[in-house]
Structure 1
Amino acid sequence: MAGILKTVNGAFWSEYVWLPPNVTWKDVAPGSRQDIITTDYRHLYIPLPMALVLLTIRYCLEKYWFGPVGISLGIKNSRPKKAPNNPLLEKAFLSNHKQLKHKHIQGLAKQLDWSERQVERWLRLRRSQEKPTTLVKFTENAWRCLYYIFSFCYGIIILWDKPWFWNINECWNGYPFQSITNDTWWYYMFSLSFYWSLCVSQFFDNKRKDFWQMFVHHIATIILMSFSWVCNLVRIGTLVLVTHDCADIFLEVIYKKKINLINFIKSFLNLGG
């Protein structure tokens, strides 16, 4: 078994696949050349504790800043009326993650001596209890939006004087013997820590319908960033990051309640001051 794993690992990390001709992994190993500072795969562990710091910052901002801002904008934090306690319907609700079929509803109505409409009303109230409040959605959106704004601005600042920001061909000139600067190092670490924090926070936040889709998306992002880091493809990686951060800002700003952005900014600044 160990021999098979070694063969698979060797085939996966083949220099023929990942590196240019006549270049080996030893040539791009950390410290292999004094004139070039390459990426170090051991640094991929650093974003894990940083993710815990981001989760702490998020908790404080949502509780002491975004929450009050949302309330000042008139966003409700109240939940709908709770469904009356009913063990039979509760068991049926928990055992069926999707909407109950009509035959099942008929059976429940007969057992309870209720009308089908009463059963449907109870199930509707019970489903509404699982949904997060509007204020919770707002605070989550505000946190992600703030991060993407910060990340995008930081990316623009550090890339402004980089040659590959203006000429994409510079991403490949001299590859893989390209030094990584301190600012791009931090850009990668911040981004990786943010996506690790999203993976963790998903299990504590109110679950959405696209829970697993988003979880797979975050894991895929981490894997792609890790591969680009190991292969020293940081230049093209930074361009991808800044492009996605820019788009994600607008995705978070487009709030389903269509809150007036000007009023939001005014309240945000007033509370911040």
Structure 2
Amino acid sequence: MLSSFNEWLWQHRFWLPPNVTWAELEDRDGRVYPHPQDMLAALPLALVLLAMRLAFERFVGLPLSRWLGVRDQTRRQVKPNATLEKHFLTEGHRPKEPQLSLLAAQCGLTLRQTQRWFRRRRKQDRPQLTKKFCEASLTHVSLQESWLWAPVMCWDNYPNQTLKPSLYWWYLLELAFYLSLLIRLPFDVKRKDFKEQVIHHFVVVILMTFSYSANLLRIGSLVLLLHDSTDYLLEACKMVNYTQYQQVCDALFLIFSLVFFYTRLVLFPTQILYTTYYESLGNRGPFFGYYFFNGLLMLLQLLHVFWSCLILRMLRNFIKKGQMEKDIRSDVEESDSSEEEAAAQEPLQLKNGAARGPRPAPTDGPRSRVAARLTRHTTAT
């Protein structure tokens, strides 16, 4: 059964243009062509890259972050509570007020204590700045070829294009890199676009595997190159942002935004998508691989539009406030004091629907007395 499926899957009509068979892409007379089984080497290489990444984060990234002054915030640990922990892991991290009231009654806590427990529990799972810095300090590989500046040359003598060793190793390293990203996804910093990141990595892995097997290496290399061109700037911008060099971060963010918009919203549709949709056919008719490959590229372009909208929101905030704020994909870091102050300022809703004015902030109690003594001491000195 497995052999039948394998035979069906590798039918040349799925992967190659009409009237082209796998026999034409067999190695002969010193000419080497890509073969699907070549990419199996990416699996062990992905594990090697993963080990190298862990070693880099521990022995290079972490010391570098400390040397540059990146400090983690001190977070209070929550008291163990089996009932609340079970709800946190199975039902959700942000229970509604009726659920909070029920949980508070079950645990013998007040509503405010239950809210504070969930708030601190959420903060425990968030990665520290040093971890984010280590992830951002990784780099990528790039390649240059004569046909990079003329996408139409990607179809010269296609699919009878020989495989260059440099192109093979670049593809292998890129595929191994994205496979290592997929392996690390459950353990990396989770942002609000986590689902989009998962889709992106899967699409890239499928695109690379298909383009290598169908000998679409040239156009696949252009896609990789456009993506890698902004990765350096993005990771550099993150690192500088974590080290609080605000002016450098602002400049890098503006450069990154311009490069991202130009490569993803201008070059990608006008050069990559245009040549794959129109110039790739030549005198050949469309086939399954044509629709499959272009469909994945269109999905990639939709992700480009999504991330462009996020960058535009950051640019809008940058123009309003004069400096770049945190990555809007990251969760907001909650503060105990800020939430209590917000609760004090929040108007009370009465049962008859009328709103009572904001609750006055407490002016008595241990905290306010200590603050008053500190103020008098500072004034006296």
Output the TM-score relative to the length of structure 1.
0.80
The structure 2 residue matched to 1:94, chosen from 65, 89, 93, is 89
Q: Could you tell me which runs of 5 or more consecutive residues in structure 1 were left unpaired when the two chains were aligned.
A: 265-273
The structure 2 residue matched to 1:18, chosen from 7, 15, 19, is 15
1:271 aligned partner: none
Q: Could you tell me which runs of 5 or more consecutive residues in structure 2 were left unpaired when the two chains were aligned.
A: 250-381
1:53 aligned partner: 48
2:111 pairs with 1:116: yes
> What is the Cα deviation at residue 248 of structure 1?
1.9
Query: How many positions carry a matched residue from both structures?
Result: 247
2:167 pairs with 1:172: no
2:180 aligned partner: 197
CA contact (8 A) 2:93 2:118 kept: no
Deviates more, 1:220-229 or 1:106-115: 106-115
What is the CA–CA distance in structure 2 between the aligned matches of 1:212 and 1:167, rounded to whole Å?
Answer: 34
Secondary structure of the corresponding residue to residue 46 of structure 1 = helix
Deviates more, 1:119-128 or 1:244-253: 244-253
1:260 aligned partner: 245
What is the CA–CA distance in structure 2 between the aligned matches of 1:261 and 1:48, rounded to whole Å?
Answer: 40
2:202 pairs with 1:225: no
How high is the sequence identity, in percent, across the aligned residues?
Answer: 35
Once the two structures are superposed, residues 92-111 of structure 1 have per-residue CA deviations (whole angstroms, 9 ceiling, x without a partner) of 21222341111110111222
Say if 1:169 and 1:213 are closer, same or farther in 2 by CA, change over 3 A: closer
Q: Which amino acid aligns with 1:36?
A: R
Secondary structure of the corresponding residue to residue 254 of structure 1 = helix
Secondary structure of the corresponding residue to residue 26 of structure 1 = helix
Secondary structure of the corresponding residue to residue 172 of structure 2 = helix
What is the CA–CA distance in structure 1 between the aligned matches of 2:110 and 2:103, rounded to whole Å?
Answer: 9
Say if 1:262 and 1:179 are closer, same or farther in 2 by CA, change over 3 A: farther
Secondary structure of the corresponding residue to residue 241 of structure 1 = helix
Q: Which amino acid aligns with 1:24?
A: T
RMSD: 2.7
CA contact (8 A) 2:133 2:242 kept: no
Say if 1:89 and 1:20 are closer, same or farther in 2 by CA, change over 3 A: closer
> What is the Cα deviation at residue 37 of structure 1?
1.5
2:232 aligned partner: 249
2:102 pairs with 1:107: yes
Structure number with greater Rg is 2
CA contact (8 A) 1:39 1:229 kept: yes
CA contact (8 A) 2:42 2:175 kept: yes
Say if 1:216 and 1:166 are closer, same or farther in 2 by CA, change over 3 A: closer
Q: Which amino acid aligns with 2:40?
A: Y
1:267 aligned partner: none
Say if 1:232 and 1:113 are closer, same or farther in 2 by CA, change over 3 A: same
2:341 aligned partner: none
Secondary structure of the corresponding residue to residue 89 of structure 1 = helix
> What is the Cα deviation at residue 262 of structure 1?
9.2
Once the two structures are superposed, residues 150-169 of structure 1 have per-residue CA deviations (whole angstroms, 9 ceiling, x without a partner) of x13xx13xx2xx2x112222
What is the CA–CA distance in structure 2 between the aligned matches of 1:249 and 1:98, rounded to whole Å?
Answer: 34
